[in-house]
Structure 1
Amino acid sequence: MIDYSMSDLLTIAKQTQVAARELAILPETSRNEALTAIASALEKHQNKIIEANQADCNASEGVISSALYARLKLSASKLKDAIAGVKDVGNLPDPIGMVSLKRELDEELILHRISCPLGVLGVIFEARPDALIQITSLAIKSGNGVILKAGKEALQTCTTLVKIIQETLKETQVNPNAIQLLTTREEIKELLALDEYVDLIIPRGSNEFVRYVQENTKIPVLGHADGICHLFIDSEADLSQAINITVDAKTHYPAACNAIETLLIHREIASQFLPPIAEALIEKGVELRGDKDSQKIINCQNATEEDWQTEYSDLILAIKIVDDLSSAIAHINRYGSKHTDAIVTKNKNNAEIFMNQVDSAGVYHNCSTRFADGFRYGFGAEVGISTQKMPPRGPVGLEGLVTYKYKLIGNGQIAASYTGENPKDFIHRDL
């Protein structure tokens, strides 16, 4: 295991900053060629990657939770999808150099607002090696360097991946130092102190961990916290559709942050809907925990206050019967994590009220919360799902990894000409 001292981390940060500045001015063709090379290298070495991941899985079996184990496991199909994501990112429009404003302030005095990379990203994520692939591809495409800190459970997989990526970049115009990997928990605190070299920290983990990061760094933080997602079955729902959506949202991949943890059911249809949905969920191995009203209709465990606040990341679902749409919205806004919440209803007005009043990054109507994903949104990949109010919000792709600068091009103009007794007037004409 690599154990960097603070001086080593400082050197790494400086190297990454230099590499990021070089990457920022590379043409799009060079960045895309690097992504193509990485995708090919990952395909070539997929057996080595899967072997490393199996070693991580063997070491973690019975030690970590089933949810974390599911995220750690890098199957051949999951690796294939991640590689496809690298190629997709390469096919996306270049996020650098986009002109969002071109304005003539005066004759021969032209203002441009142009997108540019952030610089160096520090990304701390759980035991998800496929996330490393996504983050790396987005960083290169957006012209940013990245210092990665993965969960210790994925150490062998992530080390293998970064070695493959760095060796591949040596054959491209992208400096391999643009992609760095840290390997110990102690390095997190040291990383957070590198505000002169790291421009954005992206922590992916619990609310407690995100808060810890926010409170212990001067670096701007893009929070990816808990995924306490809800599904509300309205009194005017298509119940057959509601069953399919509920089963998918809970069981398609229960370890994902966009899987539902609480099912809210309108009181008017509870006795009709609860028995068939309970049967469908139990068939999928889901453990049900219901409030007192739910327990009068189906046989399930008692749900406590803690259940409304828990991200199970497992085949466990809390169920609550609510009086109306307003009660459902109030419950979500109180207990949700501002991630993704959905309503099933044929009433468009109710759907509109729900989507306007639920304070979450994603609000859905008649579809599964599992669509909250950068790949499914057409972003190619994501560095995480931001649950904060300020943008970027929701799945963060390329657009969340660039900022902008103002470029003003003149011909000898001075500000004094526009003040005083006979000031010149600005034109302020958009071009």
Structure 2
Amino acid sequence: MVAFEIASPLIEIAQQTRTAAGKLAVLSTEARNSALESVAQALEAAKPEILATNEKDLQAAKADNIAPALYARLKLGESKLQSAIAGVRDVAKLEDPIGVNQIHRQLDEGLILKRVTCPLGVLGIIFEARPEALIQITSLAIKSGNGVILKGGTEAINSCRILTKVIQQALKSTAIDPAAVQLLTTREEIRELLELDRYVDLIIPRGSNSFVRYVQDNTRIPVLGHADGICHLYLDKAAEINKAIKITVDAKTHYPAACNAIETLLVHQDIAAEFLPQIAKALEAEGVQLRGDEAASKIIDVRLADEHDWKTEYSDLILAIKIVDSVETAIAHINQYGSKHTDAIVTEDNQTADIFQNRVDAAGVYHNCSTRFADGFRYGFGAEVGISTQQMPPRGPVGLEGLVTYKYKVTGDGHIAATYTGTDAKPFTHRDY
């Protein structure tokens, strides 16, 4: 008995996206870059409408009393929108990731092997708030020759609709089929999207820990992403005080809702008595609520931290502080409680910094700088589709390189495998070009 697939509206959308993606994959670099410039210009022209629509989402969010961290992510604003548009143009300037010869090898005379990069196909991106993420993801998808099906959070529904409308309208004047970019608008569609393994090649969830876990547990499609952003900053005994204060304040308060903001501050016991009062004063001036272990509570006025604090991504102006007796203890704490996102050390001892950077298991390990640099735009990727904390690549901020795969192309002239087997087997040359 033959089983027939009943075409649902979402399956039809996925089929359209896959067809459009197939055409996009073979377009020239110039055609894709030209399309990105058209998108950037359209977004600039629609700025007033986009910002006004985002304001409607913000007003609705206030009425619903959403969490401050989610509200911060939802707010677009002039500067965020302009940065996102600049990111579209930055992506256009990047090297084309498609058609790159990674291997060019002669197997034998007239028998040539090439490993060539190519698009993944169709991306399914599910994200909470962050309307600018829609712009970043779409630009990376176009540049890498992939179709994309987007599902934003309900709190950002109006913002996502206007952005998608502007982008699709812009693509109509280019060589790219607007069906390459699709937007889903209901929660019910998420479950169905996760079941479309025949049409969707990669799912990238951007949201809460529980949501990412839900996605990972309910799909056969490969998933790229991170569940938590529990980042640490370790102040070593050889840290310079002014540098340590500046980095700590930035890493916690520059954008506390971001996944690359620190949640735990580890301080070496030899400098705790001198450093903690000064750092606490600087943090409290920025409105940060401090929680600390018993040792820290004897030096500064903090609420006593417990096991839960070391495991928590606050995404808010809250910071847990722990005093440690060595870099080894700091590393052990990070590897136990961290989420493999981004962790940093402040020290003037380069040997200690090397130990820390080599032994901390995270996608990003920094020395004498803020964890807030963990970002595709800041890395020069133009933008990012998300941050991956998995062990296998891509890892860290994922830009174009994480959205392509490769295929092996072999060209011969009547060559057969039997020639290279048996007692009279002909040897391979295996010569790289």
TM-score normalised over the length of structure 2: 0.98
**Counterparts of 2:209 and 2:62 in 1: how far apart (Å)?**
25
User: What are the superposed Cα offsets for residues 283-312 of structure 1, whole Å, 9 maximum, x if unpaired?
Assistant: 011111111111100111111211111111
SS at match of 2:251: helix
Alignment of 1:26-425 (within 5 A): 26-61=27-62, 63-425=65-427
The residue matched to 2:320 in structure 1 has which SS? strand
Partner deviation per Cα, 1:202-231 (whole Å, 9 max, x = no partner): 011233322221221111111222110000
CA–CA distance in 2 between the matches of 1:41 and 1:324? 54
Q: Give the letter for the 2:180 counterpart.
A: A
Work out the CA distance in 1 between the residues paired with 2:249 and 2:211: 30
Mapped to 2, the partners of 1:55 and 1:224 lie a distance apart of 30
* SS of residue in 2 equivalent to 1:131: helix
* Contact map agreement 1:32 1:141 (CA 8 A) in 2: yes
For 1:154-177, what per-residue CA distance to the aligned partner results, in whole angstroms no more than 9, with x for missing partners? Answer: 000000000010111011000100
Contact 1:127 1:151 in 2 (8 A): yes
Q: C-alpha displacement at 1:184, in angstroms?
A: 1.1
CA distance in 2, matches of 1:386, 1:421: 49
> Partners in 1 of 2:423 and 2:357 — Cα distance?
54
> Aligned partners of 1:280, 1:90: CA distance in 2, in Å?
41
Q: Tell me the residue number matched to 2:11.
A: 10
Q: Take 1:322 and 1:421, find their aligned partners in 2: how far apart are those partners?
A: 66
Kept in 2, the 8 Å contact 1:202–1:224? The answer is no
Q: For 1:225 and 1:143, how far apart are their aligned partners in 2? A: 27
- Whole-angstrom distance in 1 between the partners of 2:212 and 2:51: 30
Report which stretch shifted further, 203-212 or 157-166.
203-212
SS in structure 2 at match of 1:306: helix
Indicate the SS of the match to 1:320. Answer: strand
Runs of 4+ in 1 over 6 A off after TM superposition: none
Aligned AA (2:429)? I
CA contact (8 A) 1:6 1:190 kept: no
How far residue 420 of structure 1 moved from its aligned partner, in angstroms, is 2.0
Q: Give, in whole Å, the separation in 1 of the partners of 2:282 and 2:334.
A: 24
- Work out the CA distance in 2 between the residues paired with 1:370 and 1:6: 44
Deviation at 1:6, TM superposition (A): 7.2
CA deviation string 1:381-400 (max 9, x = no partner): 00000011110000000000
> What's the TM-score once normalised by structure 1's chain length?
0.98
Code of the aligned partner of 1:392:
P
- Alignment-derived partner of residue 23 in structure 2: 22
Structure 2: unaligned runs, 5 residues or longer: 1-5
d(CA) in 2 for partners of 1:421, 1:255: 67
Q: Which amino acid aligns with 2:134?
A: L
Give the conservation status (yes or no) of the 8 Å contact 1:232–1:328: yes
Per-residue CA distance 1:113-132 (angstroms, 9 max, x = gap) = 00000000000111010000
* Per-residue Cα deviation, 1:241-275 (whole angstroms, up to 9, x for no partner): 00000000001111111000100000010000000
- The answer (yes or no) to whether the contact 2:213–2:227 under 8 Å persists in 1 is no
Deviations 1:313-359 (A, max 9, x none): 11111111011111101111111110000000011111111111111
Question: Residue 337 of structure 1: SS of its match in structure 2?
Answer: coil
Partner of 2:8, secondary structure, is helix
Amino acid at match of 1:390: M
Task: Give the whole-Å Cα distance in 2 for the aligned partners of 1:187 and 1:293.
Answer: 50
